[in-house]
Amino acid sequence: MTTTETHTAKTVNELDRVVIRFAGDSGDGMQLAGDRFTDATAAFGNDLATLPDYPAEIRAPAGTIAGVSGFQIHFSDHDIMTPGDAPDVLVAMNPAALKSNISDLPVGGTLIVNEDAFTERNLEKVGYVTNPLDDQSLDAYTVFRLQITSMTMRAVEGVDIGKKDAERTKNMFALGLMCWMYGRPVVGTEEWLTTKFAKKPAILDANLKALKAGWNFGETAELFASSYVVRPQAAAPGTYRNISGNTATAYGLIAASKLSGLPLFLGSYPITPASDVLHELSKHKNFGVRTFQAEDEIAAVGAALGAAFGGSLGVTTTSGPGVALKGETISLAVSVELPLLIINVQRGGPSTGLPTKTEQSDLLQALYGRHGESPVPIVAAYSPAHCFTAALEAARIATKYRTPVFLLTDGYLANGTEPWQLPELADLPDLHVAFAEGFNHTKTDGTPDFWPFLRDPETLARPWAIPGTPDLMHRIGGIEKSDGSGNISYDPANHQRMCELRAAKVAGIARDIPPLEVDDPDGDAQLLVLGWGSSWGPIRAAVRRARQGGAKVAQAHFTYLNPFPANTADVVRRYDKVLVPEMNLGQLVKVLRSEFLVDAQGLNKVQGRPFTAAEITEKIQEMV
Amino acid sequence: MSITAAGTDTGTEAVALTKRDFTSDQEVRWCPGCGDYAILAAVQAVIPEFERKPQDVVFVSGIGCSSRFPYYMNTYGFHTIHGRAPAIATGLAVSRPDLDVWVVTGDGDALSIGGNHLIHALRRNVDMTILMFNNQIYGLTKGQYSPTSEAGKVTKSTPFGSVDHPFNPVSVALGAEATFVARTLDVDRPHLTEVLRRAHAHRGTSFVEIYQNCNIFNDNAFLTITSKDTKEDYQIRLKHGEPIRFGPEGSRGVRMGSGGNCEIVSVDDVGVDALLVHDEYADSPGLAFALSRLAHGPSSPTPIGIFREVSRPTYGAGITEQIEQATVAKGEGDLEALLRSADTWTIA
């Protein structure tokens, strides 16, 4: 809190950053309230990061802990990296939401509860013996007991809708109140509601009334002494929008199609948390996008590979369990050397695991989860907006080197959002691909011939001759091929040569990617914090905090995990200590230790939630 | 965005194509005497009639003896993985409607490991021709029973006889509402050729079951219906618009019996008018299905020919149409506009 100013009758306090968590039953519309608050915040010009946290069950029994759905947003007047370690404000719509979230609220934090939901029955459902609003258990917090349900019902009185529908608008009341409290305009939400409920005027009316009532309640109730303002961020000049990782991935794929001139073909089977990429791409058929919802994960990747054989940009999107099923087809793509993108939006495993929660535990699967010598390049996105760039990179590598490529994102990146500075189209890479056009070899009798496995000497990529090309008719398949001609070959020496060539081709990509950048301001740090993927945000925030506390610490982050950037060995050997925070039980650390013989240490978390910056800061302080 | 292959056409269209144009330089490596040779010869002989250039034809296969087929065709070819050929071919056919796509598969490949992909390709009606060589055995893995092997089959993996109930491939295809379903024989070149013509001419997924003799692991499996002495009594040759008759001088026939089941009758006993008249184009697959149930293996009178041919929009055409409509409605995709499709704000 820096300055105080007055406006209307109430005080307005200026804050540099705030974390709000909306929590309620999965039927209470908390994700929607969070989304609307986020859009208002983005439009206002704050930096922000969000973390939706919802159950796997679509509607778990009402009022239970299993059914609690939460949405956290962190917004600020400066650049931030994470959705926030702990909320400053918790909005709890029922006892279950209170019980499952209160331990995250720091002492002195603001708690807004819907008192109406604290009935004996609801309290009993979650094992509260006494009402926490009445015993002294919440004394450490600033508690606002609001009758959100009844105030909402009064606000929508006279609108011609049923009691259930009326009650469902209470999320708009809560949203209106929070928008007042943090000076977010509601006009965007009003417009959004007007479009959404264009054909349901009564429902629209009720939602607008509830939203307004929430705002007005904040404005007039004696309860709230002040509202807050978080000024827009002084970010780099440019045009911004808010974007989630899954949307950014979809846009990256469309951009890759445009830039390469290859039509986009997506083969996919619905799976959480990847389905939104399928949904998004299905909307954009005017870009020539073909989306194919297959009968299973295997058909999804198979169709994508078939399309790639025909000259499309073949893509499949899935999560870990789906990747397990696609393994055999990915190996085929390695063997026939066709471009293919496999996008794994990682989630908690093994098996069904935590389908709606985030994890980074499929790195070893991407590296090694296939039969035979089967190298596949890996690109990993580090933030929601970075998914766009990462998708372009994955497409560039796949098409240039004629290889399947993994793009790893995760549930946190997929659903989390952040402001994205829109790129200038002219700055995007040229991904143009040339198909083979004519003969590339001469038979001993002098007649010209086409050899589908005669490689480019620099990239080791084979020619991509698509059906329809005259004279270049050829057959490819999973059986080992003779180096050059591509004919079936069981020759022992040839198999070794082909395995080595495929490995060398992937290893050679290290020459074609940027070096690993190290942030070591004074150049005298002894500890390197090294990560990959979505833990970038908390790592960055933790390093910043540790430095503020005087610690000398260097930081680097992998976007490319196979091959590693060419300078990786130099970087990791330069530091006495290397700390690798990952949302798994130590996968990157295992690879670093085996590849580079360094004594890297892991910091591991598999709780379905991203690291908090505090968790990493603590480890850094312990190690420096 | 559509795909245009590069390269210059050297003008093969000027000269009529022959079998030779579709024959690759690879040595054919099936066992001597295998039924696959006859099928390959028939396909290579008939395909020039279709007036597609070799570069516009693609053979996709799975795994098994039959799936080596693409290597012997001088077209584009993709020998893929076990059971997945229909899925891989779907991606190719949907993204490249200009190509002539064929799938070559076997009874294990199509009906066991790849059963799911087969039925979904059939229900979607992807524009391709599926040739399923049925030899009722696993050949490439050296002689285990297959999903079409008769119950009680003694093989290496079933020394006490198989306890599996077999699939009837034609029934499976009709159950999946395939738009073209036929059965033919490796040893009957004219019948095989005519079925290939019809299958290729059909728009959508054509499913052709070809009884194919594996002379190593399941020799003479189809002898009853193929041998000169018995074929008249065991082949029920389906002809559109004609009463279904077979046997010496057409003495036996098929009529609709009780409970929706077809039954074999003596024509003398019931009269020609009581016989079922074959209708390839019937909208409902019901009658064709009832016909397919007449024989549960080639040891009793077995219908061969075209069970069903109906017209239904193809999956690829539906996708292409949606792309065209979206492009008309929204204009060709504009990347800049897409990226800016949400609320934006500008920092100066």
B148 with B266, same domain: the answer is no
Q: Identify the three-state secondary structure at position A351.
A: coil
Residues from chain B contacting residue A267 (CB–CB below 8 Å): 91
User: Does A438 contact B8 at a Cβ distance shorter than 8 Å?
Assistant: yes
Cα of B198 vs its chain's centroid, Å: 11
Is there a contact between B209 and B168 (Cβ–Cβ < 8 Å)? no
**The two domains A241-427 and A518-623 share their CATH topology (first three levels equal):** yes
Handedness of CA B191, B192, B197, B200 (dihedral sign): positive
- Residue B241 touches chain A, beta carbons under 8 Å: no
CA dihedral A317, A305, A495, B113 (to 10 degrees): 90
**Residue A623: C-alpha distances to residues A526, A531, A557, B149 (Å):** 10, 16, 19, 67
Beta bridge partners of B262: B256
User: Does A468 contact B5 at a Cβ distance shorter than 8 Å?
Assistant: yes
B162 with B252, same domain: the answer is no
Is there a contact between A282 and A421 (Cβ–Cβ < 8 Å)? no
At position A272, the amino acid (one-letter code) is: T
Identify the residue whose tokens are 């934006």. B344
Is there a contact between A319 and A272 (Cβ–Cβ < 8 Å)? yes
For B261, the domain range is: 243-277
B37 with B83, same domain: the answer is yes
- Residue A483's pLDDT is 97
Q: Identify the three-state secondary structure at position A110.
A: strand
- Residue B235 touches chain A, beta carbons under 8 Å: no
Query: Among A140, A103, A77, which Cα is nearest to A23's?
Result: A103
- Residue B323 touches chain A, beta carbons under 8 Å: yes
User: Does the residue B346 lie in any domain?
Assistant: no
End-to-end C-alpha distance for chain B, whole angstroms: 36
With a CB-CB cutoff of 8 Å, which residues 324-363 of chain A face chain B? 328-329, 332, 336
Residue range A194-234, pLDDT digits in tens: 999 999 999 999 999 999 999 999 988 877 777 888 888 87
pLDDT(A43) > 90: no
- Residue B337 touches chain A, beta carbons under 8 Å: no
CATH 3.40.920.10 assigned to A4-230: yes
User: Does B339 contact A487 at a Cβ distance shorter than 8 Å?
Assistant: no
- Residue B7 touches chain A, beta carbons under 8 Å: yes
B194 with B325, same domain: the answer is yes
Q: Compute the distance between CA of residue B221 and CA of residue B228 in angstroms, rounded to an integer.
A: 15
With a CB-CB cutoff of 8 Å, which residues 425-464 of chain A face chain B? 425, 434-438
Q: Identify the three-state secondary structure at position B287.
A: helix
**How do strand A17-25 and strand A10-15 relate by DSSP bridges?**
unpaired
B268 with B321, same domain: the answer is no
Q: Compute the distance between CA of residue B198 and CA of residue A469 in angstroms, rounded to an integer.
A: 27
- Residue A510's pLDDT is 98
Q: Identify the three-state secondary structure at position A302.
A: helix
B140 with B166, same domain: the answer is yes
Q: Which residues contact A396 (CB under 8 A, 6 or more apart)?
A: A256, A429, A431
B270 with B286, same domain: the answer is no
**For B123, nearest residue in chain A (alpha carbons):** A295
Which tokens go with B73?
A: 């065709």
- Residue A169's pLDDT is 96
Which tokens go with B217?
A: 């692991």
Q: Read off the pLDDT of each residue in A477-501 and give the average, rounded to a whole number.
A: 98
Query: pTM of the full predicted structure?
Result: 0.92
- Residue A83 φ/ψ, nearest 5 degrees: -75, 5
Q: Identify the three-state secondary structure at position A378.
A: strand
- Residue B269 touches chain A, beta carbons under 8 Å: no
ipTM, two decimals, is 0.97
- Number of compact structural domains in chain B: 2
Q: Read off the pLDDT of each residue in A307-316 and give the average, rounded to a whole number.
A: 98
Which of B53, B80, B320 is best to mutate for the A interface (most A CBs within 10 A)?
Answer: B80
Residue range A292-308, pLDDT digits in tens: 999 999 999 999 999 99
When the candidates are 3.20.20.20, 3.40.50.970, 1.10.8.50, 1.10.150.120, the CATH number that belongs to A241-427 is 3.40.50.970
Handedness of CA A462, A467, A470, A474 (dihedral sign): positive
| CATH code at position B36 | 3.40.50.970
Residues from chain B contacting residue A488 (CB–CB below 8 Å): 26, 71
Residue range A453-472, pLDDT digits in tens: 999 999 999 999 999 999 99
Q: Compute the distance between CA of residue B269 and CA of residue B263 in angstroms, rounded to an integer.
A: 13
Residue range A44-64, pLDDT digits in tens: 888 999 999 888 887 788 899
- Residue B91 touches chain A, beta carbons under 8 Å: yes
User: Does the residue B344 lie in any domain?
Assistant: no
Q: Compute the distance between CA of residue A336 and CA of residue A342 in angstroms, rounded to an integer.
A: 16
Which residue intervals of A182-274 are DSSP H helices? 187-196, 201-220, 245-260
- Residue A587 φ/ψ, nearest 5 degrees: -95, -55
Identify the residue whose tokens are 């009022």. A63
User: Does B2 contact A288 at a Cβ distance shorter than 8 Å?
Assistant: yes
- Residue B79 touches chain A, beta carbons under 8 Å: yes
Residues from chain A contacting residue B120 (CB–CB below 8 Å): 294-295, 299
User: Does the residue B149 lie in any domain?
Assistant: yes
For the domain made up of A518-623, give the CATH fold: Rossmann fold (3.40.50)
Residues from chain A contacting residue B336 (CB–CB below 8 Å): 425
**For B75, nearest residue in chain A (alpha carbons):** A473
Q: Which residues contact A428 (CB under 8 A, 6 or more apart)?
A: A255, A259, A392
Boundaries of every domain in chain A? 4-230, 241-427, 434-512, 518-623
Q: Pick from A267, A467, A488: which is nearest to B96 by CB? A: A467
User: Does B327 contact A438 at a Cβ distance shorter than 8 Å?
Assistant: no
- Residue B296's pLDDT is 81
Burial class for B312, CB neighbours closer than 10 Å (0-12, 13-18, 19+):
middle
Q: Compute the distance between CA of residue A306 and CA of residue A299 in angstroms, rounded to an integer.
A: 10
Q: Which residues contact A333 (CB under 8 A, 6 or more apart)?
A: A305, A308, A340, A403, A404
Residue range B196-233, pLDDT digits in tens: 999 999 999 999 999 999 999 999 999 999 999 999 99
Residuewise pLDDT in 10s, chain B (348 residues): 678 777 666 554 557 899 999 999 999 999 999 999 999 999 999 999 999 999 999 999 999 999 999 999 999 999 999 999 999 999 999 999 999 999 999 999 999 999 999 999 999 999 999 999 999 999 999 999 999 999 999 999 999 999 999 999 999 999 999 999 999 999 999 999 999 999 999 999 999 999 999 999 999 999 999 999 999 999 999 999 999 999 999 999 999 998 989 999 999 999 999 999 999 999 999 999 999 999 988 889 999 999 999 999 999 999 999 999 999 999 999 999 999 998 888 888
pLDDT-derived band at A12, boundaries 50, 70, 90: confident
Chain A closest-CA separation from residue B238 CA (Å): 33
Identify the residue whose tokens are 């954009």. A284
User: Does the residue B341 lie in any domain?
Assistant: no
Q: Compute the distance between CA of residue A336 and CA of residue A308 in angstroms, rounded to an integer.
A: 11
B55 with B104, same domain: the answer is yes
Element housing A128 (H / E): none
Element housing A423 (H / E): none
Domain boundary among B230, B251, B277: B277
Is there a contact between B180 and B202 (Cβ–Cβ < 8 Å)? yes
Residue range B91-109, pLDDT digits in tens: 999 999 999 999 999 999 9
Q: How many CA atoms does the CB half-sphere of A173 hold within 13 Å?
A: 25
pLDDT-derived band at A5, boundaries 50, 70, 90: very low
Residue range A485-496, pLDDT digits in tens: 999 999 999 999
Is there a contact between A302 and A267 (Cβ–Cβ < 8 Å)? yes
At position A211, the amino acid (one-letter code) is: L
User: Does the residue B232 lie in any domain?
Assistant: yes
Asked if the bond preceding A273 is cis, omega within 30° of 0, the reply is: yes
- Residue A195 touches chain B, beta carbons under 8 Å: no
Which tokens go with A434?
A: 């040339």
Rg over CA atoms, chain B: 23
For B40-96, give the DSSP string: HHHHHHHGGGGT--GGGEEEEE-SSSGGGGGGGBSSEEEE--TT-HHHHHHHHHHH-
B75 with B211, same domain: the answer is yes
With a CB-CB cutoff of 8 Å, which residues 512-531 of chain A face chain B? none
Q: How many CA atoms does the CB half-sphere of A192 hold within 13 Å?
A: 17
B157 with B253, same domain: the answer is no
